[in-house]
Structure formats: structure tokens, C-alpha cells
Copies of this chain bind each other. A is one copy, B any other.
Amino acid sequence: MTIVTIKDVAKAAGVSQATVSKVLTGNSPEYRVSRDTVERVRKAADELGYVPNVSAQNLRSKRSGLIGVVLNEFDSSGRSMHLKLNSQLDSIQTIHLTFDGSLLSGLTEAARIHNTAFVVYPESTHPSEDIGSRFLDGRVEGLILRTNPTTQHPLLTRLDPRRIKMMALWTQDVPPGVGYADIDHKSGAAQATEHLLSLGHQKIAFFGPGEHSGNAHFSLRHQGYRAALQKAGLTPDPELHTEDPQKVIGLFRAGKLTAVVGATDLQTIMLHGDLVQAGIRVPEDLSLVGFDNILGAEFIAGGLTTVHHPTQEMAAAAMNGLMALIRGETVSKCRTIVPTHMVIRNTTRKLG
């Protein structure tokens, strides 16, 4: 199985390499080729099963037409997620995995549209010294970096935006010259809160990590919750922000609470379990809104009302942004915050 080169085709067609190239690339409209030779070359190429060598093309053109995706490891507060064979995955891990999956699916869809492929670089959090240099080897023309909400992606600052185009994914905190795509955490939480307000709720708690959690997303969600309350003329009560399910139960029993906005679906579900166990009915006694719309949410708690996290759209936006960046668009045009939307199911209801 020896490789077929342009030379072989040239010989078979009885023409020069250059002619073959002209015919096959279809470029160089200035240099016209006779119908007859075109025919012959095409036929020869076909019969020999000729496929242009992409490395040679790239070397020549200095362009690869490929983009790279770097998935930094999730930092689950110390626990790194390595493949645990034969062990039951815990939900957090599963969510991270399926999250990356949704991302990659979104990227795949976008790549399909742009008619391109992308390279996935698994990046460890324990990078070697020369971290980053591999991305300047000409294999890819641009990079999408999936950040971790608790830490900025190291490559974001270590790589020079002038040498390689970069888009950060899932963050809005980037150095100059770098684009980003994120979802609108803040207004998502505001939507959740407004939904509850529109149902007549006023005593609304925020459950889960918030402003000082060290996680930009949760911080934004918490902000959105408070902003919505303020917009409605209410003053957010710090006491109504907690990460402790028992405290929620206590507050409810004290009549200080009729609804809860959860920082994430998973936390909300866990809270729901505790509530049920405590004999508190959802939504009869208490309304509950989650955030993320994870897989299975429609079956959870009889149908969890939640804010949809448009993961794929976000990924597609990153891909589109990177393409634009490579085309020479200005960075400011390559920063997208994808809007969320409510998915209203059965854990919220009108007050009273």
C-alpha cells in the first residue's frame, strides 16, 4: 500500500505535476487547462485513488484549516476526575462528563456547518514546562479553551493572541485579544426569580453556592437572583441564602420562605429529597426552580422547573467566534453571551 503522489498521477496522465495540481485544486483560474487534459488528469487521479497529502499542502500554504479544542481538567475541589473503571460514577462526575459531551456535540454540529474538523487536546492540570508550545506548531490555526469556572485557563495568558487566535469557553474573564462564549448565568437566575415573582412569591431563597463561592458562575447566578428581587422592589435577605438543606426546612417552617431558586439542578434535587423527607410538599408547600436543565430533569421531582443551560449553543458560538477571529474579525465581535430560557414544569406553582 504505497502512497500515491501527484507525481504518479502526472506520469499516468502524461502531464506535469503542475498541471495535475492546477486541475485538482481548481484554483489558478488564470491558468486555463484544456478540457481534454482535465479529463485525463481526473481519470488518472481517480483510478490511482489519489488523495492530496495534507501535510504537504499545509507546509506549502502555511495554513491547516484546523482548529483545536483544549479541555482543561475539571477541578472538583481536589478530586481530579480520572477514569474509574468498574466503579460507580458519582453524579458530579457524570455531569461534568456529559457536560463536556454536550460541548463537544455542540462543537461538532458547528464544525459540520463550517465544514471543518477540530483537534481535541486533553490537557492535564499538571502541565509540563513547555505547556502551550505544542499549540504553535502549525497544526491548528486557532484554539477554543474550555475553562474551569473556578480558575482561569492557564493558556489564556500564556499564549500570545497574536500568534494564535483564542476563544475562551464558559467564562467571560479573558485577557485582551481573546474572545469568549458563555451563557447568561446572571439573567438566567433573574429569569428563575422573576418566574417565581410572577407566581406571587415574595419570600424567595437562593440555595447553594453563591457570591463568595469562588465560582464565577455561581456568583453571577446569585447576583441575578438579587437583581431580580431588587428590580421588583424587594430587598434580598442575606439570611435567605444558604447551602444547608436543613436551614431551608427551618426557614420554611418559620414561615420565612415560599420558594427557592437553586444554584444548580443537582443541588435542587438533593434539596427536594430532603424536603420530601421532611414532609414538605413541592410545589404545594414550596416552589422550587433549578438551574441547568440536566438530562433527566423532566423526570425528576415530577418534572423540575429549571433554567435551561444552552451548552451546545454556547459551544457553537465559540466555534463561530473563532472562525470569525481567524477571518480577521475584531475581538469585540467575538464575544457572546448566550441567553438562557425557562423550562417550566411541575415544581413551581402560584402562591396561596
Contact = CB atoms under 8 A, between A and B. Distances in A.
Interface string A1-35: 10100000000000000000000000000000000
A159 to B, nearest CB: 11
A283 B136 CA distance: 58
A98 B297 CA distance: 14
Given A66-B119, A119-B119, A298-B86, A139 B55 contact: yes
A89 interface: yes
Interface in A105-147: 105-112, 117-122, 124, 133-134, 136-139
A185 B121 CA distance: 31
Contact of A98 (B64, B98, B108, B160): B98
Interface in A308-345: 308, 310, 312-313, 316, 341, 343, 345
Contacts of A83: 106, 109-110, 312-313, 316
Nearest to A59: B55
Contacts of A88: 298, 308, 343
B54 A56 contact: no
A90 to B, nearest CB: 9
A139 B217 CA distance: 38
A243 B282 CA distance: 32
Contact of A111 (B52, B66, B122, B137): B122
A100 B101 CA distance: 6
Q: Which of A71, A101, A110, A137 has the most CB of B within 10 A?
A: A101
Nearest to A63: B55
A89 to B, nearest CB: 6
Contact of A160 (B1, B66, B101): B1
Contacts of A136: 49, 51
Contacts of A101: 97-105
A351 interface: no
Contact of A100 (B55, B85, B105): B105
Interface residues of A, number: 78
A106 B83 CA distance: 8
A269 B299 contact: yes
B122 A120 contact: no
B137 A120 contact: no
Contact of A108 (B100, B160, B298): B100
A64 to B, nearest CB: 7
Given A97-B102, A101-B98, A112 B117 contact: no
Contacts of A64: 55
Contacts of A79: none
A213 interface: no
A251 interface: no
A53 interface: yes
Nearest to A311: B97
Contacts of A59: 53, 55-56, 59
B117 A117 contact: no
Interface stretch (A166-174, A191-199, A288-296): A288-296
A280 interface: no
6 contacts: A1-B160, A88-B308, A95-B295, A99-B101, A104-B104, A296-B299
Given A86-B341, A88-B343, A299-B301, 5 more contacts: A51-B138, A55-B56, A91-B295, A295-B296, A299-B299
